[in-house]
Amino acid sequence: DTRLHFDRLVLRKGQPPQAVAASSVPGATAVAAQNGEGEAPAEPAGGVPAEDGFQWRRDGLSLVLDDFESGVGRWNGLALDRELVRAGSAAGAWVDTTKVREVFAAVPSDWTAYDRLRLAVHSVAATGALINLLLHSDDPATPEKDYYSHTFAVDWTGWKELDLPLAAFAAARKPLGWNSIRKLQLSSTWAIRPVAGTSLRFDELRLCRDALKLTSLACAAKAGAEDRPRLEWKLRVASRLDSPTTVKLGASATGLPGGTAVVEPSQLALPPGEAGEVTVKIGVDDALTLPLPGTERPRVTCTATVETAGEQHRLEAALSDGGLFLAALRPGSHPRLFFTRNELPGLREKLKHPRVAEFWTAIMRWSGDLRQFRANVRGARTSEGRRRATGWGMRVNALAYLLTGEQERREAALAGLEALLACDTWLEEESVQLGRPMDIRSATLARLVAEVYDWLYDELSEETRAKVRSKLRQFCFEPAAEAWKRRDGYMTVYQYNWACLAYAGLGVAALAVAGEMPEAVEAGALALDGAGRILEAICQDGGW
């Protein structure tokens, strides 16, 4: 059961390398990391030197981390294979993932100039084993390890290229950042079990930079011909090349009955490192609704293509059904969450039913105590518990006012809203201390504030409406975007109840202010995508 772990074993100049025992596996041999008498290899043109004497080679828009032509001396756990190779004459062999359960190597620390990690992987058998790829970025000030991770399943045979966007890696705890990557590790036992028969080869590991960057800016509804709605989706196209380039642009619409998509301009001439804006004009049916399960989901795609050094680079951005639906909503149509203005008389009529009246009486007894609610409102700024109680009580009182017309309920709901708008944070204390941008408390309060904004829209002054939108931006939309960018667990572990609450708060808030805030489109699209992933995940394995 003895297991030893070594990291950053450095061969210094003037100290000859020690021999490395060869693997007994046919076709695989281990070699010493050497160059003459322990001299560090000379840096090739465009190379990036490393502290341990190795170097990484630039190749156009990519940085080659390893092609194994110089051996496996920088790797712990890999053997050299000269038979199963993808390119050149060598590959790194992870012969048996049940015996050697992790392999790792030092890598350049600053990855901020790159967008994706590409590696060619050969699998002897499609065992279905899960492999965790970890990028260590540990903060010495934190008690546990901090890193980025991506998991892939070995479900193929032969060679396969993995193209892994860095933005898709999940962040564990608080990594220092993409400018501080210390080690690349592959593990067959990181919270998973190794599978017998899994044998892998690696080749052509490289960091890649996209020639272009395509960023969605905003999408909003515009009046079209014959009152037919038209959406205008603005994007930013940035060149990351060192020479002038011409970018060709295109747009397409699928799953959108009667939908059209045209990009203007269709071509951009960009100087080195410069950017320009384009607009995709989208024609949609006036009856745009979210699709039913099993039907083709509406999607509008913008593509940008550039050719450099004889190679074509293509990038695309997509606006999915959630973004389209939210962008098409007209401003000022409230209430819109759970019921509309025309449905209120029917809801009031239901209160006359004896069984419904019994439930309503119980709800008001449990949640509608105005004396206790006012005490919660007074303590909302300083007490996390009272802040949370204020949110739920505010919601109950707002609904009670709409159904009964009691002015006392209206005043209570508005007082609760003002108290929450005056708070410096909606996070729980632990999240503030840990630096979480979002948590279940802030997401839930965002949902409750959004519901009251929608239900009492006509009762709010324009100043208060603006305050609500500002707080939703500050405490919900921007933190959610940051949490997604960091790949925090509550945004990426879809079986986790925190994900349900986070995406619920984000989605309801986006629906409440759609047509009134440009951020609502992107936030709503993210929330709808997350909700779909949650349903897929819990239907397979349940959740916790």
Q: Average pLDDT in the 315-326 region?
A: 75
**Residue-level pLDDT at 255:** 77
For the chain, what is the mean pLDDT? 84
Query: What is the rounded CA–CA span in Å between residue 237 and residue 268?
Result: 9
- Has residue 157 got a pLDDT over 80? yes
Domain with CATH 1.50.10.100 in the chain: 334-541
Angstrom distance (rounded) from CA 134 to CA 279: 38
Angle between helices 440-455 and 384-404 (to 10 degrees): 20
Return d(Cα 416, Cα 455) in angstroms, integer. 14
Of 16-20, 100-104, 368-372, the poorest mean pLDDT is in 16-20
pLDDT at 540 over 90: no
pLDDT (tens digit per residue) in 358-396:
999 988 887 778 999 999 999 999 999 999 999 999 999
Helices (H), 340-477: 344-350, 354-367, 370-378, 384-404, 407-421, 429-434, 440-455, 462-472
Q: Is the pLDDT of residue 342 over 50?
A: yes
The residues facing 63 across adjacent strands are 58, 207
pLDDT at 71 over 70: yes
CA angle 141, 142, 147 (to 5 degrees): 115
Res 52: pLDDT: 44
Token output for 343: 């449905």
Of 440, 383, 449, 447, give the one whose Cα is nearest residue 416. Answer: 449
Identify the CATH assignment for 334-541 out of 1.50.10.100, 2.30.110.20, 3.40.50.300, 3.40.50.2000.
1.50.10.100
Q: Which of 444, 364, 456, 370 is nearest to 418 (CA)?
A: 456
| Percent of the chain predicted with pLDDT > 90 | 52
What pLDDT is attached to residue 227?
Answer: 53
Find the mean pLDDT for residues 93-119.
93
Q: From residue 169, give the alpha-carbon distance in Å to each of 116, 149, 165, 279.
A: 10, 5, 7, 30
Is residue 131 predicted with pLDDT exceeding 50?
Answer: yes
Between residues 32 and 280, the one the model is more confident about: 280
- pLDDT exceeds 90 at position 476: yes
Which of helix, strand or coil describes residue 361? helix
Q: Is the peptide bond before 265 cis (omega within 30 degrees of 0)?
A: yes
* pLDDT one-digit tens code per residue, 238-271: 998 888 999 999 999 887 767 788 999 999 999 9
pLDDT level of residue 18 (50, 70, 90 thresholds): very low
- Mean pLDDT of the 187-193 span: 85
Please give the model's pTM, rounded to 2 decimal places.
0.61
Lowest mean pLDDT among 64-68, 133-137, 316-320: 316-320
CATH 2.60.120.430 in the chain, residues? 28-208
Beta carbons of 195 and 183 less than 8 angstroms apart: no
Mean pLDDT of 476-505: 88
CATH 2.60.40.10 range(s) for the chain read 212-327
Query: For domain 212-327, is the CATH number 2.60.40.10?
Result: yes
CATH superfamily, domain 28-208, is Galactose-binding lectin (2.60.120.430)
Q: What is the pLDDT of residue 250?
A: 93
Q: What is the pLDDT of residue 298?
A: 77
Has residue 542 got a pLDDT over 50? yes
Distance between CA 501 and CA 437 in Å, rounded?
A: 14
Task: Quote the Cα angle for 75-79-81, to 5°.
Answer: 125
Residue 289: its pLDDT value, please?
Answer: 56
Q: In the Cβ-directed half-sphere of 363, how many Cα atoms lie within 13 Å?
A: 14
Q: Which of 36-50, 425-439, 497-511 has the lowest mean pLDDT?
A: 36-50
Residue 224 CA to residue 231 CA, distance in Å, equals 9
Residue that is written with structure tokens 């465009």 in the block: 46
Question: Based on the number of CB atoms within 10 Å of its own CB, is 369 exposed (0-12), middle (13-18) or buried (19 or more)?
Answer: middle
pLDDT of residue 321: 66
**Mean pLDDT of all residues in 458-485:** 94
Q: How confident is the model at residue 35 (pLDDT cuts 50, 70, 90)?
A: very low
- Contact criterion met (CB below 8 Å) for 495 and 543: yes
Q: What is the DSSP string of 461-500?
A: -HHHHHHHHHHHIIIIIHHHHHHHHHT-HHHH-TTSHHHH
The whole-angstrom separation of Cα 96 and Cα 90 is 18
Measure the CA–CA gap between 252 and 233, rounded to whole angstroms. 13
- pLDDT higher at 372 or 322: 372
pLDDT at 541: 62
Is pLDDT of 432 > 50?
yes
Q: Render pLDDT for 1-16 as a digit per residue (tens, 0 to 9).
A: 676 767 666 665 554 4
Q: What is the mean pLDDT of residues 310-316?
A: 81
Helix H or strand E encompassing 343:
none
Separation of CA 296 from chain center: 24
> Looking at this protein, which amino acid is placed at residue 119?
L
- Where would I find the beta strands (DSSP E) of 227-327? 230-239, 245-254, 260-264, 267-270, 275-283, 299-308, 311-320
- Residue 395: closest CA among 460, 336, 449: 449
Average pLDDT, stretch 282-298? Answer: 62
Read off the pLDDT band of 38 (50, 70, 90): very low
- Rounded Cα distance between 9 and 105, Å, is 10
CB 397 within 8 A of CB 373: yes
